[in-house]
Amino acid sequence: MKRHFVTFYSPGTFVSEETTKSIKKWGVDIAVKMSKKIKERYEALPYGFVFTTRERKVSDLDSKEIKRSNMYFLGGTILTLEDVLQRNDEKDKILILNMKANNYNKVVENTNSYKIVVPLQAKDIVLKIKGGTGK
């Protein structure tokens, strides 16, 4: 038995909030539409989502993830370390240290609800979302 899911990520207090929903098939347009109905604590809206497929065989007690997509960001600004340094903003001090220490080439800054900055992996996609999510 196989099932497909989409997990939405929203800014949280210490870690991102997650909401996972079952879907018939992986579809970016479907997930973007679904994201507009997701609100977490303190009215936090999703900044991105991933698709997963889980499978359970008759002999398995629980399902196992057999496939995972890249992250799809619901809008945002892609920033390199050079971009962040050029802003010359004292508020970026920890971000700069984290980017250097963790060797992050790029990050995505998203402000759909609360500002969040997340590393951008090579296969991640930043979608152009008109008006952000939840609006």
Residues 64 and 21 in one domain: yes
Residues 69 and 80 in one domain: no
User: Containing domain of residue 51, as a range?
Assistant: 2-73
Residues 55 and 89 in one domain: no
Q: Please, what is the average pLDDT of the chain?
A: 94
* 31 part of a folded domain: yes
Angle at 52 between CA 101 and CA 104, to 5 degrees: 15
Residues 7 and 69 in one domain: yes
- What does the pLDDT look like over 39-72, one tens digit per residue? 999 999 999 999 999 999 888 888 999 999 999 9
Percent of the chain topping pLDDT 90? 90
* 112 part of a folded domain: yes
Mapped onto helix, strand or coil, the DSSP state of residue 4 is: strand
Mean pLDDT calculated for residue range 109-132: 90
Please list the residues that pair with 68 across neighbouring strands: 52
Q: How far apart are CA 31 and CA 22, in angstroms?
A: 11
Residues 18 and 53 in one domain: yes
Contact 33, 46 (CB under 8 A): no
Q: Which DSSP category does 122 fall into?
A: T
Contact 108, 117 (CB under 8 A): yes
Q: How far apart are CA 96 and CA 111, in angstroms?
A: 19
* 48 part of a folded domain: yes
